[in-house]
Amino acid sequence: MALLEGMARLHGIETVALESSLVSKRFYEDLGYETIRKSFIQLPKGKRLDYLEMQKSLNKGQNLGPLRTRS
């Protein structure tokens, strides 16, 4: 994930977003992602699939991760 976030920074992307299952919430929170909203997909027979919309600002701190370049 650090590699992907580093590449995003190098391309000028300031915020990344993803959709997470409920059981993966803690994993992404530990990586610095915040829940923006809870959502769901309506399935047949009255069932639904709950998920979280999450995002992370890549501007927090100056660490470029594994793709850090020299000035």
CATH number of the domain residue 12 falls in:
3.40.630.30
- Pick the closest to residue 34 from 12, 17, 13 (CA basis): 17
Q: Which domain holds residue 37?
A: 2-61
Q: Is residue 50 part of a domain?
A: yes
Q: Is residue 7 part of a domain?
A: yes
pLDDT in tens, 8-54: 999 999 999 999 999 999 999 999 999 999 999 999 999 999 999 99
For 53, phi then psi, to 5°, come to -95, 125
Mean pLDDT of 41-69: 80
pTM of the prediction? 0.76
Q: Is residue 68 part of a domain?
A: no
- Contact, 56 vs 15, CB < 8 A? yes
Q: Is residue 55 part of a domain?
A: yes
